[in-house]
Amino acid sequence: MGKRLLYEEDKMQKLMYSEAFERAVLSAIIYEPAIFKDVLDAGIRNEDFFIPFHRVLFNALGHLYENSIIEEGIIKEYLGKAFDESGMLEILASLPVSNICFYIEKMKEYSRLRQFKQLAHQILYSIDEEKNFDEILHLVHGEIEKAEEGGRELFKIVSFGEIEAEDAEFVCKSWLPFPKDTVSLVSAGGGVGKSFLLLQAAMRMVRDERLKVFMWLSEDPLGLSRSRFEMIAKQILETDVSVFEKDLHIAGADAETIHFLEESRGSISINSKFYQFKRALNAYDVIILDPLIAMFGADENNNAHARMFINLFTRWATKEKKTIIFIHHGTKNSSQSRGASAFVDAVRLVYRVEYIKNDKDEISEDENRYIILDKDNNGAKKYLGAGKVKRQIFSKKTKSMIEIEYE
């Protein structure tokens, strides 16, 4: 039984790397230096090599490639004491391969397996150290995210000649446009009607564009949201509620609010529940979260914390093609965004919602609100029609919608 266990462990070690594959890739670079760029573009990095000398050599080849001097003699001189004569001879003895992509993919696969083996050891160590479940789960999620990102190139450089011009895409562009696959913000003071506004926008996305929408209205009971939903469907959109029910889903005040950032002893970390949250919402095109501050969990006046939070969602939106919209409280007695300026700086679009008032500063139109475009990086104004518009949020007896545009 002991021999079998040793055999299985030895077999597992062999699955973690291939010295022959590593030699083949390095040999190909030395014999044909121009191929080094293709190797980098394919995502190979220093840590993907298992043999220590192979890592050292790969780093050296990168430096020499930048200076267009990849030659055997110069490699030896550049490495100095780190040069391994026998290791180099074994690499040079490997014939250059024609299908280097196969070897690169296998190396990346081995590298990821080693990462997960290391993670398994970290999990066992954490258990021995009596870490709690949430701490271990956070470790697992973080390492998985790093492994996934490590399999992708850092960024791709292209010439303008390779790019086709195109406009940014929007959802709900005929009524309240939001740029696709990024993060937007809607700001207003208390009681102005921002939840009503976004509920109607979500219903229009479902009805007119066949999008699947999730809303977390964390301050409102589900029954209240249902009542508003029915009012908008019947009295404003004049559409049967069944049209929306399949693809519009919500969570309400009954669900436990998640702080996606956690502050502890002066440092900020990502709550492991963020990764569970992402998986739970994988099927949705649009995600609306109300209010932002209830899900933040850090210092709302700290720009670094605010940017970290928004960037967390921006990466998600870009990577998985999600349109994410936050509803954000305004400052006291104001519709201006509350907290750190980075909340506004880090998003692509910001709408501000305000009452419509007369010269005496009295609310003059109960059912309508001004929608003001405070930030517009993607060109929403083209579809909104102006920087300041009216939108009907609440019902009225006539049922007709007022959508007057103001310059």
First to last CA, the chain: 82
Q: What is the mean pLDDT of the chain?
A: 85
* Mean local confidence (pLDDT), 103-122: 83
Element (H, E) at 261: strand 261-264
Condensed to tens digits (0 to 9), the pLDDT of residues 237-283 reads: 999 999 999 999 999 988 888 899 988 777 788 887 888 898 899 99
Q: Are 287 and 324 in contact (CB under 8 A)?
A: yes
- pLDDT for 82 beyond 80: yes
Highest mean pLDDT among 233-237, 254-258, 332-336: 233-237
Tokens linked to 34: 């121009």
Higher pLDDT, 256 or 156: 256
Confidence of residue 224 (pLDDT cuts 50, 70, 90): very high
Q: What pLDDT score does 222 carry?
A: 94
Confidence of residue 103 (pLDDT cuts 50, 70, 90): confident
- pLDDT for 141 beyond 80: no
Tokens linked to 363: 């609310």
Q: What pLDDT score does 144 carry?
A: 67
Q: What pLDDT score does 210 carry?
A: 97
Q: What pLDDT score does 2 carry?
A: 46
Q: What pLDDT score does 3 carry?
A: 46
- pLDDT for 74 beyond 80: yes
Q: How far apart are CA 267 and CA 226, in angstroms?
A: 40
Residue with tokens 């926008």: 201
Is the pTM higher than 0.75? The answer reads no
Q: Which of 234, 192, 224 is nearest to 393 (CA)?
A: 192
Characterize 108-132 residue by residue with b for buried, 16 or more Cβ atoms within 10 angstroms of its Cβ, and e for exposed.
bebbeebbeeebeeebeebeeeeee
Confidence of residue 376 (pLDDT cuts 50, 70, 90): very high
Condensed to tens digits (0 to 9), the pLDDT of residues 33-50 reads: 888 888 887 778 888 899
The DSSP call for residue 260 is S
Higher pLDDT, 189 or 185: 185
* Mean local confidence (pLDDT), 369-377: 96
- CA gyration radius, the chain: 28
Condensed to tens digits (0 to 9), the pLDDT of residues 339-348 reads: 789 899 999 9
Q: Are 17 and 117 in contact (CB under 8 A)?
A: no
Per DSSP, the three-state class of 356 is coil
Q: What pLDDT score does 291 carry?
A: 92
Q: How far apart are CA 116 and CA 96, in angstroms?
A: 30
Q: How far apart are CA 376 and CA 387, in angstroms?
A: 9
Confidence of residue 287 (pLDDT cuts 50, 70, 90): very high
Q: What pLDDT score does 247 carry?
A: 97
Condensed to tens digits (0 to 9), the pLDDT of residues 198-221 reads: 999 999 999 999 999 999 999 999
What residue ranges do the domains of the chain occupy? 2-150, 170-406
Q: How far apart are CA 316 and CA 336, in angstroms?
A: 26
The DSSP call for residue 286 is E
- pLDDT for 104 beyond 80: yes
Class of domain 2-150: mainly alpha
Q: What pLDDT score does 338 carry?
A: 66
Q: What pLDDT score does 186 carry?
A: 96
Max distance between CA atoms of the chain, in angstroms, equals 90
Q: Are 285 and 213 in contact (CB under 8 A)?
A: yes
Q: Are 328 and 343 in contact (CB under 8 A)?
A: yes
Q: What percent of the chain has pLDDT over 70?
A: 87
Fold (topology level) of 170-406: Rossmann fold (3.40.50)
Find residue 372's DSSP bridge partners.
Answer: 352, 388
Element (H, E) at 120: helix 100-128
Compute the 3-state secondary structure of the chain and give helix, strand, coil in percent, each to the nearest 5: 50, 15, 35
Q: What pLDDT score does 290 carry?
A: 92
Q: What pLDDT score does 377 carry?
A: 95
* Mean local confidence (pLDDT), 81-109: 85
- pLDDT for 185 beyond 90: yes
Q: Return the number of other C-beta atoms located less than 10 Å from residue 184's C-beta.
A: 23
CA 174-180-181 angle, to 5 degrees, is: 170
Q: What pLDDT score does 150 carry?
A: 53
- pLDDT for 399 beyond 50: no
Q: How far apart are CA 228 and CA 206, in angstroms?
A: 16
